[in-house]
Amino acid sequence: MGLWHLSKRFFGSLNPLPIRAQDVSWAHAQLLDGEQALWDRMRRQDRRHSLAVAHRVDEALGADAPREVLAAALLHDVGKLDSNLGPFYRVAATAAAKVAGHDMADPWASTSGVTRRIGLYLLHPQIGADHLRMAGSHALTVAWAEEHHNEPDGGSVPEPYATVLREADDD
């Protein structure tokens, strides 16, 4: 992730405007009850990002967009809610993973305080997948949360959905 990208994400996350009611109801309409409860707990910047991704997926697939694919777009980053990191520490977490390597996520997650939260943040794909399993999500929704930062090849989400979801996710 480049500097431009990081700073765009950082400043974008400071947007103080509430999410529009019509966007909230659109999101809820795509989600199961347990998924709605999870989505509502996400930080506003994550809900805003998830809506942008889901709208792009909806546009790309049109009327053929399956509910579980839109749910995957809306909830792929749901695992971030455990670390509860604000924009500043998110940039720090991304930088730390670059320097120390992503393998540090597990050991960091076993510490306490800020390093634990950074570790949890870096593990958000696995943590999110776990939340979604417990919420009764469709297997595709769970799989996308778990695999959305993996290399494009070898995932379990079928085409064209994996590519559409990947291209719609701009972080």
Closest to 10 in 3D by CA, of 126, 98, 95 = 95
Stretch that binds Fe ion, among 20-28, 71-79, 82-90, 130-138 (CB under 5 A): 71-79
Which C-beta is closer to Fe ion: that of 11 or that of 63?
11
Q: Which residue has the tokens 């520490």?
A: 89
Nearer to Fe ion, 103 or 170 (CB): 170
Interface region with Fe ion, contact rule CB under 5 A, candidates 73-81, 92-100, 115-123, 129-137 = 73-81
For position 46 contacting Fe ion by CB under 5 A, the verdict is: no
Distance between CA 130 and CA 152 in Å, rounded? 21
Of 2, 54, 44, 43, the residue nearest 20 (C-alpha): 44
Count of beta carbons in the 10 Å neighbourhood of residue 108 = 22
d(CA 94, CA 8): 14
Gyration radius of the chain's alpha carbons? 15
Residue 33 or 70 having the CB closest to Fe ion: 70
d(CA 75, CA 34) in angstroms, rounded, equals 12
Nearer CB in complex with Fe ion: 146/169: 169
Q: Is residue 68 within the footprint of Fe ion (CB under 5 A)?
A: no
Q: Is position 169 an interface residue for Fe ion (rule: CB under 5 A)?
A: yes
Question: Does 146 interact with Fe ion (rule: CB under 5 A)?
Answer: no
Candidates 58, 68, 77, 146; binder of Fe ion (CB under 5 A) is 77
The residues binding Fe ion (CB under 5 A) are 77, 169, 171
